[in-house]
Amino acid sequence: MIVIDSVLAMQQFGREHKGQIALVPTMGYLHDGHASLMVEAKKRAPIVVASIFVNPTQFGVNEDLDSYPRDLERDKRIAAGAGVDVIFAPKASDMYPAGYQSWVNVEGLTDHLCGASRPGHFRGVTTVVAKLFNVVAPKVALFGKKDFQQLAVIRRMVTDLNMDLEVVGMPIVREADGLAMSSRNARLSVEERVKALCLSRSLAAARLLFESGETRVERLKAAALAVIEAEPAARIDYLEFRDQDSLEPLAAADKRTLLALAVRLGEVRLIDNCILGEA
Ligand code: AMP
């Protein structure tokens, strides 16, 4: 495995290996969720490039850019173990040099959910992902459904801007107790780590009620909210039932309905989601 930290060197590598690269974009502090994307990437292309870049432009002013966990040496070990061939770890000053002025913006889909609670977030995400696609020139890129809206927004961008690559969405990887894996879990205190289970339990409560035949969103939402509200330390950013394609609100749920939530525990904001009809 090699580590490339210069944008120009990465671009040259991408050019030389055109058609052979699967890209897994990450912000590092890798866990088994990231590793699952890397393992699948290796099945889809001979060369796996994992980018590790805590992208400053997708963080709001009062968000956790400075406290986001970072450990490149640890990441190298995990990436090598997951079959990564190249780590691309650019500096922010190389990705956004002085005079930088260009942005990619997906409209509509980004009005909802995390787009509403984190203004400017998706503009940063789509811009950096478009840049990574231009630099690495992958034939396929893999993203987790943990960030369901991000995946939808990136698919929209790739379609709308005629980007020549395949986008693959991968299932959410969870800890044994149900907590969705996230780099931000490392920032939870021991007490908060226990309380964080309210997210996956909330999804489970809604799904159970749906499986019993309830389709009224009002009722399903009440069941999901009750689980979070029983945890006084948890502050709800949003908890919404949405059409999984448009992300628009719904009155009645079906098997394809997305339940997405964002919850704060202390300083840490966690997200999770499920499709009601999927296990
Ligand atoms: P991040 O480093 O958090 O930006 O995530 C990088 C990629 O890994 C994104 O496509 C995420 O959706 C994906 N990812 C993060 N956590 C998980 C998880 N628990 N299961 C599956 N994919 C994940």
How do beta strands 268-275 and 258-265 pair? antiparallel
Q: Would the CB of 30 count as within 6 Å of ligand 1?
A: no
Q: Would you call 17 a catalytic residue per the annotation?
A: no
Atom of ligand 1 nearest to the CA of 173: 20
Atom of ligand 1 nearest to the CA of 147: 12
CA distance to 84, 86, 162, per residue, from 26 (Å): 13, 13, 23
How far is ligand 1, taken at its centre, from the CA of residue 137, in Å?
Answer: 20
pLDDT digits 0-9 by tens, 80-91? 999 999 999 999
43 CB contacts (<8 Å, ≥6 apart)?
A: none
Residue 224: is its pLDDT beyond 90?
Answer: yes
Using alpha carbons, select from 8, 59, 53 the residue that is nearest to residue 30.
53
How far is ligand 1, taken at its centre, from the CA of residue 170, in Å?
Answer: 9
How far is ligand 1, taken at its centre, from the CA of residue 34, in Å?
Answer: 5
Using alpha carbons, select from 109, 120, 107 the residue that is nearest to residue 148.
109
Q: Give me the phi and psi of 182, to 5 degrees please.
A: -160, 145
pLDDT digits 0-9 by tens, 115-142? 999 999 999 999 999 999 999 999 999 9
pLDDT digits 0-9 by tens, 159-196? 999 999 999 999 999 999 999 999 999 999 999 999 99
pLDDT digits 0-9 by tens, 242-270? 999 999 999 999 999 999 999 999 999 99
**72: its two tokens:** 């490149």
Q: Give me the phi and psi of 261, to 5 degrees please.
A: -145, 155
What mean pLDDT is predicted for residues 223-228? Answer: 98
Helix (H) or strand (E) holding 192: helix 190-195
Q: Would the CB of 53 count as within 6 Å of ligand 1?
A: no
Cα 202 to Cα 234: distance, rounded to the nearest angstrom = 12
What mean pLDDT is predicted for residues 8-15? Answer: 98
Letter string b/e over residues 247-256, b meaning 16 or more CB atoms within 10 A of that residue's CB = beebeebeee
Amino acid code (one letter) for 124:
G
Cα 196 to Cα 202: distance, rounded to the nearest angstrom = 10
Q: What is the pLDDT of residue 187?
A: 98
Model confidence at 148, in pLDDT bands (50, 70, 90)? very high
Strand partners, 142: 168
Model confidence at 279, in pLDDT bands (50, 70, 90)? confident
Q: Whose CA is nearest to atom 19 of ligand 1?
A: 181
Mean pLDDT of the chain: 98
